Amino acid sequence: MKVLVPVKRVVDYNVKVRVKSDQSGVDIANVKMSMNPFDEIAVEEAVRLKEKGVVTEVIAVSCGDAKCQETLRTAMAIGADRGILVETTEELQPLAVAKLLKALVDKEQPGLIILGKQAIDDDANQTGQMLAALAELPQATFASKVEVAGEKVSVTREVDGGLETISLSLPAVVTTDLRLNEPRYVTLPNIMKAKKKQLDTVKPEDLGVDVKPRLKTLKVAEPPKRGAGVKVADVAALVDKLKNEAKVI
């Protein structure tokens, strides 16, 4: 069984992002970029399934400019067998990515698609659900445990009330949550091996997909700075401030 794992190149989670002076977006010039943490978990889960003998091939996919090859090489260093780059300089929104992935699903015919539940740059949490709808596949989101047995995949997912376990028929779409696993450390020998693995490049037009943006960002602004806290003498003073100043009660 093949597993398709989409990975996204984002600003590293340790970097404090800055908004551009014209408020058109986030400044990513000379900023460290890395694989989206949720996608890293997805790659790790796919590789673990391969190590168990359930999966025969793990294919990493990334959509974006040529620099996304670095992200694919990282995925292959973790354990993916080959990579596919859908190269475009267009701004990619969740629907466009879902359409590109749907075209690749039709081409590769994977038994399972595992992707991060969201990217830490836009926090959209839409691509997995859109892909499942476009490809007419069953889906399980926010997975904290994945078990494949025969033609079924059992997914334990995190919901507001606790945990929910569902069974899906393969092929299916699964999106990963933080508690699914802890990705392995990428070693230097594996990084060197990844450079020799197959990496194919295609264009959106080769897949017959229009990636033109449907949404327009009007303004990006930093959250307001928090004011300093104050000490109160007693409960009565606290209630008075909450009622008359903060106006929350």
Say how many C-beta atoms besides its own lie within 10 A of residue 150's C-beta. Answer: 7
What pLDDT shows up at residue 104? 95
What pLDDT shows up at residue 239? 92
DSSP symbol at 223: P
pLDDT in tens, 236-245: 999 998 998 8
Assigned domain for 51 exists? yes
Assigned domain for 249 exists? no
Assigned domain for 24 exists? yes
Q: Is the peptide bond before 183 cis (omega within 30 degrees of 0)?
A: no
H or E segment to which residue 98 belongs: helix 94-108
What pLDDT shows up at residue 225? 84
Domain count, the chain: 1
Assigned domain for 65 exists? yes
pLDDT in tens, 110-169: 999 999 999 998 889 999 999 999 999 999 999 999 999 889 999 999 888 889 999 999
Assigned domain for 71 exists? yes
Domain encompassing residue 6: 2-244
What pLDDT shows up at residue 142? 93
Tell me the two tokens of residue 28. Answer: 């990513």
What pLDDT shows up at residue 67? 92
Cα 5 from Cα 83, distance rounded (Å)? 9
Q: Are the C-beta atoms of 115 and 100 separated by less than 8 Å?
A: no
Q: Residue 112's domain is classified under what CATH number?
A: 3.40.50.620
Cα 98 from Cα 104, distance rounded (Å)? 10
List, for the chain, all residue ranges whose pLDDT scores fall below the cut of 50.
none
Sign of the C-alpha dihedral, residues 78, 82, 86, 89?
Answer: positive
Assigned domain for 195 exists? yes
Query: How many angstroms from the chain centroid is the CA of residue 123?
Result: 9
Cα 216 from Cα 195, distance rounded (Å)? 37
User: Tokens 């989101």 sit at which residue?
Assistant: 141
Assigned domain for 121 exists? yes
What pLDDT shows up at residue 80? 93
